Structure 1
Amino acid sequence: MPTDIPQPSFVLIRPQMGENIGAAARAMWNFGLDRMRITAPRDGWPNPKADAMASGAGRLLDEAQLFDSTEAAVGDCTFVYATTARTRDLTKPVFSPEAAMADAAARVGAGQKVAVLFGPERAGLENADVAVANALITVPVNPEFPSLNLAQCVLLTAYEWRRAQGAGDAMQVGMAGTDWASTAEIAALASHYEERLEEAGFFFPAHKAGSMKLNLRNLWSRMPLTQVDVRMLHGVMRQMVRWKSRGD
């Protein structure tokens, strides 16, 4: 059974190759989507080539809803997006995939039933399909080569849906069992280095010592140090002092 997580339906309009249907199912499930609808697949349904390409997402194909027309496939929906590179002469809102899925997330969250149309591989959606949609999604591709594979377009859109759910930080740091050093820990490290550098005669000439120490403090505060980093740097300085003592 499909998951009970509110989400848009992805509707493949007259898909031609079973392999692309399977790849689209796999792309959908990569990002937690499992509501696939298919209208008039060229090679019939079910399709063993789709099953082979879907890999671990075969459940989506087993549960896919089959329709005879675009109108029937979205008849129960309250808002429909059509993916197309042809946006001229069409008086409809045009979204990027990112903006479209953010809009879709808000609509789904408000209880609306949303669908996204994907056209057949050869030429994309026809004007009659696009006419059913409330808004368009267009990908900012190379204008000299704008054609996207069906599964690629599904993947892009599914990824943006996942991002709209707040999944996946833009950047994160693996802490490897430690935590960020506190201000007090970094201050203690700075004091340790200042004391040892003072003993070594590093702060010379004397009238520049204040600015040199300030520069070092700024250096430490700019570094995103972990507690492990701080302990290691204390150890480095202690070992250097021991090494110098042995040399004497």
Structure 2
Amino acid sequence: MNTRFILIETSHAGNVGAAARAMKVMGFDDLVLVNPRWDDVLTRQEAVDRASGATDVLAKARAVATLDEALENVTHLCATVMTARDFGPPTRTPREHLAALPAAGGCVGFLFGSERYGMRNEDVYRCHAALRIPVAPDYGSLNLGAAIQVIAYEWRMALGGFSGAAPSPSSTEPADAQAVTGMLQHWEQALIEVGFLDPAAPKKLMPRLNQLFNRAQPTPEEIHILRGVAKAMADAARKAKL
């Protein structure tokens, strides 16, 4: 099962190196940075020093401009949060949630927010689950490298450690997060066309639909059908207005 660690708007180069080290000791090497503070963050001396030998992970890592680019081929996306979000995905401990994932196949993505402001609600809404690491109630502040290490360890254990057999991929893998996002944008426009969604007062309709489809885990073929439905809805609404 493929695994990707995604860091959004990282502001400290040292944390990128710490992330690479935390990933490598657990056998992972797919690191993507979304709009990091430094264009050259992957080669900055602080990042290289904190990587402590995991420079191969830094060399393979890439920086992209948007979260959509980072989510290519990701079929199950987990946010990391300190507090649950209203209308967001279910909030679980890493051990509780990850234990059931290895049989699902596809690519799992772990999403980490900025050191300065954490995860934005709109990014959390895109996820299938929100992972909250159990910490002391009077001091819950984990630095980014430590949080990545905990998640990487729990995921490695869920996969069977380093001696466990690799899980067999699912014959009907779910569509990736990009496909789901594109379908939801198509549906949003169609719902506006038929008068079901008021763009001036959308409330929480789209985040709720996002969670509905995340729970359903539609396949690429099903995404194609849903986009066909959205197109038919919009076409019918336009004809009715003529």
With normalisation by structure 1, the TM-score equals: 0.61
Q: Give the match's secondary structure for 1:8.
A: strand
Count of residue pairs the alignment pairs up: 161
Deviation at 1:168, TM superposition (A): 7.2
CA distance in 2, matches of 1:119, 1:20: 12
Bigger Rg, which one:
1
Letter in 2 for 1:100: H
Offset of residue 93 of structure 1: 1.9
Deviation at 1:122, TM superposition (A): 1.7
How many angstroms apart in 1 are the aligned matches of 2:136 and 2:98?
Answer: 22
In the TM superposition, residue 149 of structure 1 has moved relative to its aligned partner by 0.5
Describe the SS at the equivalent of 2:84. coil
- Cα root mean square deviation, aligned: 1.8
Q: Does 1:53 align with 2:50?
A: yes
Residue 196 of structure 1 aligns with which residue? none
Distance in 2, matches of 1:76 and 1:91, equals: 22
Matched, 1:90 2:103: no
Structure 1: any 5+ residue segments left out of the alignment?
1-5, 170-248
Paired residue for 1:69?
66
Matches within 5 A, 1:105-144: 105-107=102-104, 110=105, 112-144=106-138
CA deviations 1:12-50 (Å, max 9, x no partner) are 111111101101110111111111111111122233321
Partner SS, residue 37 of structure 1: strand
The one-letter code sitting in structure 1 at the alignment partner of 2:8 is: I
Indicate how the Cα distance of structure 1 residues 67 and 103 shifts in structure 2: closer, same or farther if over 3 A, else same: farther
Q: Higher relative CO (CA 8 A, sep ≥ 6), structure 1 or 2? A: 2
Q: Residue 71 of structure 1 contacts residue 132 of structure 1 at CA under 8 Å; is this kept in 2?
A: no
* Structure 2 contact 89–124 (Cα < 8 Å) conserved: no
Write out per-residue CA displacement over residues 191-248 of structure 1, whole angstroms, 9 at most, x where no aligned residue.
Answer: xxxxxxxxxxxxxxxxxxxxxxxxxxxxxxxxxxxxxxxxxxxxxxxxxxxxxxxxxx
The CA distance in 2 between the partners of 1:63 and 1:77, in whole Å, is 18
**Alignment partner for residue 42 of structure 1, among 17, 21, 37?**
37
Tell whether the 8 Å contact from 1:40 to 1:69 is kept in structure 2 after alignment: yes
Structure 2: stretches of 5+ with no match in the other structure: 164-242
Secondary structure, counterpart of 2:54 in structure 1: helix
1:29, 1:10 → 2: CA distance? 11
Q: Which amino acid aligns with 2:63?
A: L
**1:158-169 equivalences in 2 (<5 Å):** 158-167=152-161
Q: Which residue of 2 aligns with 1:233?
A: none
Q: Displacement of 1:68 after TM fit?
A: 0.9
C-alpha distance in structure 2 between counterparts of 1:106 and 1:153, whole Å: 24
Q: Which secondary structure state, in structure 2, belongs to the residue aligned with residue 87 of structure 1? A: coil
Residue 101 of structure 1 corresponds to 98
Identity of aligned residues (%): 35
Amino acid in structure 2 at the alignment position of 1:28: M
CA apart distance, 1:88: 3.6
In structure 1, what residue type is equivalent to 2:102? A
